[in-house]
Amino acid sequence: MTEDRLRTVVLVLAGLGAAIAGYLVWAHYADAAISCTSGGCETVQRSDYAEIAGLPVALLGLLAYTAIAATATLRGELARVVTAGIVVTGFLFSTYLLLVQALVIHAVCDWCVASDAVMSALVVVVMLWLRHAQPDEGRVHRGRLDSLR
């Protein structure tokens, strides 16, 4: 898969994650009932773990997905590394929250699991993107010099 296709997949996944997180942010501030098949969404969203320093965790997710999309639009190795850092951090935080749901709250939010799946997919795609990205021009030049020696 080309770098541009991988970047596009990252952007689509980040958009999907932002839509999920955005819905949860809206539900939080509108004090609306969350559409849920498991029945655990309201329990999770009303728990002590649904906010950090007064901010809904979903808002942090929305900001993370937005940052992933923003950095994925940039070119260069630094942009790829920063995107990967945000994605890995988001994945680790998502894993923590999933464990909290299962082991502490004893309820699972469908929307949170969907966001976890998106973040997991992002980890895979971003790692492929890092692996298959074209080297920077300076590296190509040095590589050619090394091959001539």
CATH number, position 25: 1.20.1440.130
Give the tens place of pLDDT for each residue, 67-79.
999 999 998 889 9
Written as six digits, the tokens of 64 are: 């993370």
Query: Does 26 have pLDDT greater than 50?
Result: yes
Q: Specify the amino acid at residue 74.
A: L
- How many structural domains are present in the chain? 1
pTM of the model: 0.86
User: Structural domain of residue 13, as residue ranges?
Assistant: 3-148
Nearest Cα residue to 109 out of 36, 59, 17, 18: 36
Number of Cβ within 10 Å of residue 111's Cβ equals: 21
Angle between helices 3-30 and 57-72 (to 10 degrees): 160
Give the pLDDT confidence score for residue 149 in this predicted structure. 47
The mean predicted confidence, pLDDT, of the chain is 89
